[in-house]
Chains A and B, each alone.
Chain A
Amino acid sequence: MPLYFSEREIVLPGQLLSDDSKRSGEGTYVLGSRVYASTLGFATVKNDKVCVIPFKGAYNPQPGDKVIGIVIDVKPNGFEVSLGRHLTATIKIPDKKEVQALNLKVGEVIYAFVKESGLRGVFLEGGEKIKKITSGLLVSMHPSKIPRLIGRRGSMINMIKKETGCDMIVGRNGLIVIRGPSPTNEFAAVSAIKLVEKEAHSQGLTERVENLIKSILGGGVESEE
């Protein structure tokens, strides 16, 4: 079956991608046994399916994603967690004692895994996989830019961690927790994140981020990691 695009081509909503309706993946739709793009992004083939990687757009939780959430409600059998923007997730715990054992209060920040996401809502893994985050600076960033912040095999995020000496926890939903040795270091990390968000599309970003951090820290701070 022919494909009507070249790999990594920019496709627009409504663009014909394939004749094989079985190959419709993320960011596409089927109309009359043909596959069309539904979002603006790069067209690519993933696991033999035609997909569009969007440039922008809402975060779509996938099972296994690591997210950071804010507890907004405590219930007898679980919690409700805000994942920023329009998303709220549910944690269901069958055992009442376990709920109490977690000792989560409204407003507290947790780090958790996505278990399931669908029409009924987003569900997070319960139990020991939930980690409570007790201190740090919570910043948000556009979820579509998170892969750029992490970089290829974590190159960007590791560099920021190393240069600023901060510990960072990145949620796929766009929330990031930063813990640093001093406010200046934390500020440098936040500035780096903001730069990545602003210039996510450009090349040679890692170097510019590095320079920014160095200029903020005056170049004299020893990295701690």
Chain B
Amino acid sequence: MKNEKLKLISEEGIRIDGRKLEELRPLRIEIGVLDKSDGSAYVELGKTKIFAAVFGPREVHPKHLALPDRAILNCRYHMTSFSVDERKPLGMTRREIELSKVIREALESVVFLEEFPRTSIDVYVEVIQADGGTRTAGLTAASLALAEAGIPMADLVAAVAVGKVEGHLVLDLCDIEDKYGEADMPIAMAPRLNSIVLLQLNGRLTKEEFRKALELAKKGIMEIYQKQRDALRKKYSEVSLMEV
């Protein structure tokens, strides 16, 4: 009922925020924004604003959690209480704990943890403002922060959501499309390795739709990946040749 009242996609194929079906929101990336952390990044995807900070490798606390042959990767995805329309209570909700886990597992597949035995690498993803696609933008930011911290990894991780809204496959859903659309599928990839490191699906897609959605996501991910690389290069382009 509500779908009919709220027209998410116009007849010309223009979405509620003025985008085309296969268009990303404007993406802004900044590297090295936080002084106290070893590596940090800020990602702004439309109205979604996210900080990511990386600490480590550092000593594990409590010590018995340390692994003798590799580092442990801790990840905390957290939404600030002012990031959503209605105040989110402090502390970790069920959803945040789950997202912390999926982000951690996605990052574990690219980071060379075995280079730092008995240590921990801590990743903090803080959502300042949420407008859909926070886990994907958070993952994009976290991989940049890890790269800036100088932690060895096989590839950067870029992520984007695809979904089905009023029968159309769309790229990079915003909050309203996520809520009133039919399906939402966040995907994260290590593009150079051509491997999918995160894939979740909320809602229903047919086999054919799934295939098309995956292709669409790949296209979006390559676009984000290019911007990630440009941002990292830009940050260090002014670096003179140090005497190493």
Q: Which A residues contact B (CB, under 8 angstroms)?
A: 8, 10, 12-16, 27, 29, 31, 36, 38-42, 53-58, 85-86, 119, 144, 147-148, 151-152, 200-203
- Docked Cα-Cα span, A99 to B127, in Å, equals 53
- Docked Cα-Cα span, A203 to B148, in Å, equals 21
Interface status of B237 (Cβ within 8 A of chain A) = yes
With a cutoff of 8 Å between Cβ atoms, the chain B residues found around residue A56 in the complex are 38-39, 148-150
Interface residues of B in 212-244 (CB under 8 A from A): 229, 232-233, 236-244
Interface status of B100 (Cβ within 8 A of chain A) = no
Residue of A nearest to B236 (CB): A10
Q: Which of B149, B239, B241 contacts A57 (CB 8 A)?
A: B149
Tell whether A147 pairs with B192 under 8 Å between CB atoms, given A14-B154, A56-B39, A56-B149: no
Residue of A nearest to B232 (CB): A12
29 contacts between A and B (CB under 8 A): A10-B232, A10-B233, A12-B232, A13-B110, A13-B147, A14-B193, A27-B152, A29-B112, A31-B154, A36-B154, A39-B150, A39-B152, A39-B153, A42-B241, A55-B236, A56-B38, A56-B149, A57-B151, A58-B56, A85-B57, A85-B59, A86-B56, A119-B117, A147-B242, A148-B242, A151-B243, A201-B239, A201-B242, A202-B240
- Nearest CB of chain A from residue B235's CB, rounded to whole Å: 9
Tell whether A55 pairs with B150 under 8 Å between CB atoms, given A147-B243, A148-B242, A201-B240: yes
Of listed A8, A55, A85, A200, residue having the most chain B CB within 10 A = A55
- Docked Cα-Cα span, A99 to B239, in Å, equals 46
- Docked Cα-Cα span, A147 to B191, in Å, equals 34
Interface status of B69 (Cβ within 8 A of chain A) = yes
Interface status of B58 (Cβ within 8 A of chain A) = yes
Residue of B nearest to A85 (CB): B58
Q: Determine if A201 and B150 form an interchain contact, defined as CB atoms under 8 angstroms apart.
A: no
Q: Determine if A86 and B59 form an interchain contact, defined as CB atoms under 8 angstroms apart.
A: yes
- Docked Cα-Cα span, A86 to B38, in Å, equals 13
How many residues in B have their beta carbons less than 8 Å from beta carbons of A?
39
- Nearest CB of chain A from residue B220's CB, rounded to whole Å: 18
With a cutoff of 8 Å between Cβ atoms, the chain A residues found around residue B192 in the complex are 14-16, 36
Complex A-B, nearest 8 residue pairs according to Cβ-Cβ distance, in ascending order? A57-B150, A14-B155, A56-B150, A14-B192, A38-B152, A152-B243, A201-B239, A86-B119
Q: Which of A10, A14, A55 contacts B156 (CB 8 A)?
A: A14
Residue of A nearest to B241 (CB): A8
With a cutoff of 8 Å between Cβ atoms, the chain A residues found around residue B56 in the complex are 58, 86
Q: Determine if A40 and B148 form an interchain contact, defined as CB atoms under 8 angstroms apart.
A: yes
With a cutoff of 8 Å between Cβ atoms, the chain B residues found around residue A39 in the complex are 147, 150-153
Interface status of B190 (Cβ within 8 A of chain A) = yes
